Amino acid sequence: MSKSSQGNKAIKEFLAEAQEFVESLSRNLIEIDKAIKTGEPDPDMVNEVFRGWHTLKGLSSTFGVEPLSLLAHDEESLLDDIRLGRKAFTPQILDSLFESIEEVTKILGIINESGDIKATGYSDDRTKTTPGQSPDSGQASGHGKEDDVPVIDPKNLIDAEVLEVLTEFEEHRLKINLQQGQAIYKMRIGFSLMSIDQELEDIKGRLRPIGEVITYLPSSESNDPDILDIDVLLALHQSRDNLEAALDGVEAEISTLVPGRYTPKVASDTIIPAPPTAEQLSDSSETGIDVAAASEIESPGISERGLVQNQKEQPLSLRSVSQSVRVDIGKLDHLMNVVGELNIIRNTITKISDELRSVSEQRELAIELHRVSRGFDRRLAEMQEGILEVRMVPVSQMFDRLSRMTRKMSRNIGKEINLVISGTDTEVDKLIIEELSDPVMHIIRNAIDHGIEDAGERRSVGKPEFGTVALTAYQKGNHILIEVEDDGAGIDGEKILEVAVANGFLSKEAAASLSEREVLNLIFLPGVTTTAKANELSGRGVGMDVVKTNISALSGVVEVQSELGIGTKFTITMPVTLAIIPALLVSVDENTFAVPLNTVAEALTISGADVNKVMGLETFTLRGQTLPLCRMDGFFGRPRHNAIPKGSRLLVASLGQRRLGLVVDELLGQQDVVIKPLGQSLDETRFFAGATDLGDQKLSLVIDTASVIEEFFTSGEDFTQPAAPAE
């Protein structure tokens, strides 16, 4: 392998791993942002962010990305001060951390584009002063200024044996809980060596809602060789009854180290109750924790946040803990193309087998070939399903980035936005996720800028001061639906019509005949905006037309619903994957086309006698509902008949809330197809998603059903009428 290829591989490894840390840091900071608004952040979450920056620093140093390493070092130092109570976690510091995430993203983008690990184009000219503080302004604890809370020395309340094994962070958390007047408990719980990790996580999960686990470590008094006794130090934020209820079914020895009072967690500006006095402590008959022998445990016995079996009992292994590998999406595309070629070979083998069956002398050979073909078909289906599964990723990858950008935008324009996310586990093709990020970002940007009113205006109409944007994803059949809904002012249809008429998109007469849905769809026209003054976010009439164009390019549709004064909802309907898709092969004017099966609800036989005329359009009555018809020969500019011939086929195409009947000559069968791009010269060709190889050196165009439906309902052209008779 050449040095160049080795370097490229190293860069890809670095970018993939760094991106994972960025996404993890973003999720944690968003959770901290929510916690700051309602109280104070979870110390474990702050510690998790600290460790994230520390790991990113080490990763950057290893690969020689010095600017990123320095940036991560600054944030690591800042978070170290916060987690140890030397500084308060203020909204200004949170803003600074989010800005640093953006800087990291920029650096990674430059490295990705240049292919050079050194080409960051970044210089760290930021001040080292914490936002909102001057260098000599002093240090603040996690609860405000030092004179706001009593200074408590744990040595006066906790046995020295306990304090000796605490890390600096754990000792800080102990002090904070003592200042809050919380009770400190020690619990001794036995765990089976075979399942200690799972059982310990279960105990931590039970205790997390009622208190804070300060530390946990092995007891020196374990007698059973198969059982490891763990001493858990807990700051209880609720009553002793809640503790016993949480440990229901668990054998535990519970001892009180400091008998605090049951009080809820206090805000930073609240007077904190005084800690228990020495006289009160002397009344307690329960013993303290005895962990003197803990420091004598051989390495690796105890880690700061976890437990490792003794090296003498567990041989050292060089196996990686992770069972996952990173695969470039380009390699998966190549494998998908190979599977597509195998599909073609399978179809050819099936045809040969069918032909041999008609020859009596070759009947036994045909039967054997058919048996082999069936086995090949099953294995090919398994391979195809496996590759598709590898390509699928949760939409949380996109939603996490959108959360960070939404927070930044809302703060830039001074609006409080509550982003509610659901359906993050919904999976979709990796390529679709990447291409969909920008369109969804456009929609959210317009919701924040145009949809959500200012705080004063919201108060005047009885709404909460903060606006809400709901981002939802879910699967429906073979499609993924992504909804973006806000509780803002809604879309003013009259203003939309005025702008559309003023820009010459339609006449006043045509505007008067539009339905409510058609009026709302005018926002996807270029240059249509209801904002009088443009700003850095939106208002220039660009964005929503880009949204529609990009989504259509992915064989998807976007629909909008709005109610004035209530809010607006955008629904994006996308296929789960664009890799290998099942398709119906149809004939139109002796030409073969492929129609994605996931857009076809059903297929029927139709004739001219079944067709009705409604407002000049051809329709078909399907189970009591009117279905508009589109003759595909006329749609492609080659109308041939005065009436739909008997025996024609009707495909009921369904996408989102829209249904359309596609009239074709005949059905030729079903086949899995791999869509290939048409090439640069035909890249602007409308209504086709690409081409596919059907075998026997036959090519077919793949109809983009979404764009056909969109064109039919929005263009105003009539594709249902037969050709005019020749003169």
Q: Indicate the pTM of the whole model.
A: 0.61
pLDDT one-digit tens code per residue, 217-273: 887 666 677 788 888 888 888 888 888 888 888 888 888 888 875 444 443 333 334
DSSP 421-457: EE-TT-EEEHHHHHHHHHHHHHHHHHIIIIISPPHHH
Handedness of CA 636, 642, 643, 648 (dihedral sign): negative
Q: Which residue, chain included where needed, has tokens 């598709």? A: 388
For domain 395-575, give the CATH number. 3.30.565.10
Residue-level pLDDT at 664: 92
d(CA 649, CA 667): 7
Report residue 145's pLDDT band, with 50, 70 and 90 as the boundaries.
very low
Burial class (CB in 10 A: 0-12, 13-18, 19+), 303: exposed
Q: Which residue, chain included where needed, has tokens 């003759």? A: 631
Mean pLDDT of the chain: 77
Whether residue 64 is predicted with pLDDT greater than 90 in this model: the reply is no
pLDDT one-digit tens code per residue, 637-686: 777 667 788 888 999 998 777 889 999 999 988 887 877 777 766 666 77
**Among residues of the chain, what percentage have pLDDT more than 70?**
78
Report residue 57's pLDDT band, with 50, 70 and 90 as the boundaries.
confident
Report residue 324's pLDDT band, with 50, 70 and 90 as the boundaries.
low
Whether residue 202 is predicted with pLDDT greater than 60 in this model: the reply is yes
Q: Break the chain into its structural domains and give their ranges.
A: 3-114, 149-296, 329-392, 395-575, 580-714
Tell me the average pLDDT across 337-364.
81
**Range with the largest mean pLDDT of 86-90, 333-337, 458-462:** 458-462
Answer whether 705's CB lies under 8 Å from 599's CB: yes
Residue-level pLDDT at 683: 63
Residue-level pLDDT at 186: 86
Residues whose CB is less than 8 angstroms from the CB of residue 38 and which lie 6 or more positions away in sequence, other chains included = none
Answer whether 599's CB lies under 8 Å from 651's CB: no
Whether residue 336 is predicted with pLDDT greater than 60 in this model: the reply is yes
Residues whose CB is less than 8 angstroms from the CB of residue 401 and which lie 6 or more positions away in sequence, other chains included = 23, 26, 437
The better pLDDT of the pair 338, 679 is held by: 338
DSSP 51-76: HHHHHHHHHHHHHT-HHHHHHHHHHH
For domain 149-296, give the CATH number. 3.30.70.260
Whether residue 103 is predicted with pLDDT greater than 50 in this model: the reply is yes
DSSP 349-363: HHHHHHHHHTSGGGH
CATH architecture of 3-114: Up-down Bundle (1.20)
Report residue 290's pLDDT band, with 50, 70 and 90 as the boundaries.
very low
Q: The tokens of 623 are what?
A: 């189970």
d(CA 300, CA 458): 59
Report residue 612's pLDDT band, with 50, 70 and 90 as the boundaries.
confident
Residue-level pLDDT at 650: 92
Report residue 593's pLDDT band, with 50, 70 and 90 as the boundaries.
very high
Torsion of CA 289, 293, 297, 302, to 10 degrees: 20
Report residue 156's pLDDT band, with 50, 70 and 90 as the boundaries.
low
Say which CATH topology domain 580-714 has: OB fold (Dihydrolipoamide Acetyltransferase, E2P) (2.40.50)
Residue-level pLDDT at 134: 37
